[in-house]
């Protein structure tokens, strides 16, 4: 069995078998997630429908690290599908400053994303919501039924939990299947992604893994010391997630930055040099594409970056198998697989062990060392 262009035995020796499997399995896991949601659709619909009919409802999408970027990817699409106020607020912000993130006068549905459910901020955020908000509701997406968040949810009123298939509870250090799995589950729950598109995104990602790994391996072997991911709208959160994957799996040896196409000129462009790879996530939105195309032309005319790559569904980017009619949220899935694969192969090229890239042990799979303090309003 080969994963991402490497035999299983080689990956086991190199300490990367779990991460390679978890990246590769995603096209097969996504339809399973959809089937599971369909099986529990009645209870989920009964929970969500009355809430989404409330025009005064605020939806807060929350999580830490990669789980916070899930919310950033979803927020534009859920805002469009529901017509409601939708905010992506990291648990690390919410716990650090509850009074600036929560408003007790506003009815709020807090949507929590957590792979393990054991991060200190995940539980603390839920408890703060219970403390601060009068009209509060919880929708929790998690991959671990043994996690503290899952157990806490059983004690809460006005709460619904979506437990994803066991395969999404990544055993590798970096979140891969859990990231895409929770994006998909929430997108389907809020009808931000057409149900019949799940099989399509699975085919796009499978085709990418089948045909683009040699190209991605070439990029990994090129030795870029800096990587910039550019994306707007739903891709803004994806760019942040892609940059984090590179930082995590390269153990910080590759500097990674995320920005929007319009924001990049305002200072961050300074990072570009001959050892920089720039990757742009292209939108199918004609309006947004004008700004993306302008920046691509500029970067290529500058001739400073080591390489500029654009991923897209049309002829002006590296094709990911999707049609030009695909929405941004749908494109997030093959784009994420590209970024995960690149980070994984770059990790191997650096001689690291992708399942446990931080040999010093100062960065952990589940965050440790966080003290949670009592909170009371100060204003």
Residue 377's CB is within 10 A of a number of other CB atoms, namely 9
CATH of the domain at 284: 3.40.50.10490
**Mean pLDDT, range 302-324, rounded to an integer:** 88
**Same domain membership, residue 264 and residue 133:** no
Residues 6+ apart with CB under 8 A from 269: none
Residue 34 lies in a domain: no
pLDDT at 291 over 90: yes
**Same domain membership, residue 181 and residue 210:** no
**Same domain membership, residue 189 and residue 47:** yes
**Same domain membership, residue 168 and residue 310:** no
Residue 233 lies in a domain: yes
**Same domain membership, residue 169 and residue 222:** no
Residue 294 lies in a domain: yes
159-175 per-position pLDDT tens digit: 999 999 999 999 999 99
How far, in Å, CA of 324 to CA of 365, rounded? 37
pLDDT at 14 over 60: yes
Q: Which domain holds residue 279?
A: 202-349
The count of structural domains within the chain is 2
Residue 238 lies in a domain: yes
Contact in structure between 335 and 326 (CB atoms under 8 Å): no
113-172 per-position pLDDT tens digit: 999 988 888 999 999 999 999 999 999 999 999 999 999 999 999 999 999 999 999 999
% of the chain exceeding 70 in pLDDT = 96
**Same domain membership, residue 96 and residue 161:** yes
pLDDT at 9 over 90: yes
**Mean pLDDT, range 87-109, rounded to an integer:** 96
215-249 per-position pLDDT tens digit: 999 999 999 999 999 999 999 999 999 999 999 99
**Same domain membership, residue 297 and residue 165:** no
Is 335 or 322 the better-scoring residue by pLDDT? 335
Residue 372 lies in a domain: no
pLDDT for 186 equals 98
Residue 6 lies in a domain: no
**Same domain membership, residue 238 and residue 188:** no
Residue 128 lies in a domain: yes
**Whole-model pTM?**
0.96
CB half-sphere exposure, 142, CA atoms < 13 A: 24
**Same domain membership, residue 175 and residue 70:** yes
**Same domain membership, residue 232 and residue 187:** no
pLDDT for 359 equals 77
Grouping H, G, I as helix, E, B as strand and the rest as coil, residue 225 is coil
**Same domain membership, residue 330 and residue 245:** yes
Residue 371 lies in a domain: no
At 366, the pLDDT band (50, 70, 90 cuts) reads low
**Same domain membership, residue 158 and residue 210:** no
% of the chain exceeding 90 in pLDDT = 89
**Mean pLDDT, range 259-276, rounded to an integer:** 98
């Amino acid at each position: 069995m080969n994963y991402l262009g490497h035999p299983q035995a080689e990956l086991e020796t190199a300490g990367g078998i779990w991460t390679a499997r978890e990246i590769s399995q995603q096209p097969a896991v996504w339809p399973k997630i959809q089937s599971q949601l369909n099986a529990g659709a009645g209870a989920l619909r009964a929970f969500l429908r009355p809430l989404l009919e409330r025009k005064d409802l605020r939806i807060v999408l929350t999580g830490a690290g990669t789980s916070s970027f899930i919310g950033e990817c979803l927020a534009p699409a859920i805002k469009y599908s529901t017509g409601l106020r939708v905010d992506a607020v990291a648990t690390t912000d919410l716990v650090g400053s509850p009074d600036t993130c929560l408003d007790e006068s506003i009815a709020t549905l807090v949507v929590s994303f957590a792979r393990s459910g054991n991060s200190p901020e995940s539980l603390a955020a839920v408890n703060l919501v219970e403390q601060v908000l009068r009209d509060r509701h919880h929708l929790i997406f998690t991959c671990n039924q043994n996690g503290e968040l899952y157990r806490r949810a059983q004690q809460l009123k006005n709460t619904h939990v979506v437990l994803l298939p066991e395969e999404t509870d990544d055993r590798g250090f970096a979140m891969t299947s859990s990231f895409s799995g929770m994006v998909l589950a929430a997108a389907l729950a809020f009808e931000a992604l057409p149900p019949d598109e799940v099989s399509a995104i699975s085919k796009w990602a499978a085709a990418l893994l089948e045909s683009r790994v040699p190209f991605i391996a070439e990029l990994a072997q090129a030795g870029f010391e800096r990587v910039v991911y550019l994306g707007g709208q739903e891709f803004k959160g994806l760019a942040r997630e892609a940059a984090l994957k590179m930082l995590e799996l390269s153990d910080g040896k590759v500097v990674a930055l995320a920005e929007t196409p319009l924001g990049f000129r305002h200072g961050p462009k300074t990072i570009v040099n001959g050892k920089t790879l720039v990757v742009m996530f292209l939108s199918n939105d004609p309006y947004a594409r004008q700004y993306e195309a302008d920046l691509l032309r500029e970067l290529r005319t500058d001739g400073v970056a080591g390489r500029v790559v654009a991923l897209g569904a049309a002829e002006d980017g590296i094709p990911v198998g999707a049609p030009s009619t695909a929405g941004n949220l749908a494109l997030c899935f093959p784009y994420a697989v590209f970024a995960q694969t690149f980070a994984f192969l770059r990790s191997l090229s650096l001689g690291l062990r992708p399942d446990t890239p931080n040999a010093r042990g100062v960065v952990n799979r589940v965050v440790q060392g966080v003290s949670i303090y009592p909170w009371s309003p100060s204003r």
